[in-house]
Amino acid sequence: MADKIAVLIPCYNESKSVGKVVQDMKAALPEATIYVYDNNSTDGTDQIARKAGAVVRYEHQQGKGNVIRSMFRDIDAQCYLMVDGDDTYPAEYAREMCDKVLNEGTDMVVGDRLSSTYFTENKRPFHNFGNSIVRGSINRLFHSGIKDIMTGYRAMSYQFVKTYPVLSKNFEIETEMTIHAIDKNMQVDNVIVDYRDRQEGSESKLNTYTDGFKVIRTIIRMYKDYRPMQFFSLIAAILFVLGTGFFIPIFMKYLNMGVVTKIPSLIVICFVILSAIICLFSGIILSTLVQQHKQNFEFQLQEVNMQYKRLFPEG
């Protein structure tokens, strides 16, 4: 059966807070179905969530990305509200976020923590720094204006959920979702939400350095995949400048003396410049494939819209 609003709560050992999150969401969105997907918790998270009134399901592959893949695959709804089970996001903004999807046709609503209380509430300075770096780099690389890239509080449309290919397995999933929405020209809105730090005794599952590195690696990978012309042109330019810089002294010496004295260096320089040319043409070819993929995506979106109309004839 399809839901009008599905609240999605991925959880791993959130027994201290998941009950309150479920109750708050039921109060804010009484018509919604609350889904808690337990990701191998060992502290009774599933029992507490079920007692609070949530529909509890299980994902045994560890990682937030794996949980979200199962959620998006299993559940049909007009609006999906994703929220973490750690009670850091107030439920009072849920209605506003869902209304933007249901009434204004927004594909993704981002719960923007960084414009409110995040930097004062969050006690992990490297997380603050990392969020700012990720936001700045993605907005520059992809020419967007999204205020919070890594927030776990989002409302999404059926069209977004059913056309989004989940590739990441862990916490880099939010970055991947954001870039997908930007690249596919979907309507994205920001709603400023308050943020509160975790309850005492509740531990974050995010490793500052390991997961931070994964997020940066995801940005680079997706920039290569979604903007291959810019990515490979940049590499080509760097290689060409390096090759030319080392070639000029050899060429000037040849003009003055009439002899090439550094044959091995010249061979290496030729390979560097050749690599630059290969990178440039790789970018051209891959950008053509990306454009073809975007065209195919538009046809896929039409099919998803037809499915949506069959599921929600009144929507």
pLDDT (0 to 100) of residue 199: 67
pLDDT (0 to 100) of residue 230: 95
Residues of the chain whose pLDDT is less than 70? 1, 121-128, 198-209, 211, 315
Three-state DSSP string of the chain: CCEEEEEEEEECCCCCCHHHHHHHHHHHCCCCEEEEEECCCCCCHHHHHHHHCCEEEECCCCCHHHHHHHHHHHCCEEEEEECCCCCCCCHHHHHHHHHHHHHHCCCEEEEECCCCCHHHHCCCHHHHHHHHHHHHHHHHHCCCCCCCCCCCCEEEEHHHHHHCCCCCCCCCHHHHHHHHHHHCCCCEEEEECCCCCCCCCCCCCCCHHHHHHHHHHHHHHHHHHHCHHHHHHHHHHHHHHHHHHHHHHHHHHHHHHCCCCCHHHHHHHHHHHHHHHHHHHHHHHHHHHHHHHHHHHHHHHHHHHHHHHHHCCCC
pLDDT (0 to 100) of residue 261: 76
Name residue, tokens 């599933």. Answer: 46
pLDDT (0 to 100) of residue 56: 97
pLDDT (0 to 100) of residue 52: 95
3-class SS of residue 60: coil
Express each pLDDT in 89-132 by its tens digit.
999 999 999 999 999 999 999 999 988 877 776 666 666 677 78
pLDDT (0 to 100) of residue 123: 61
pLDDT (0 to 100) of residue 130: 74
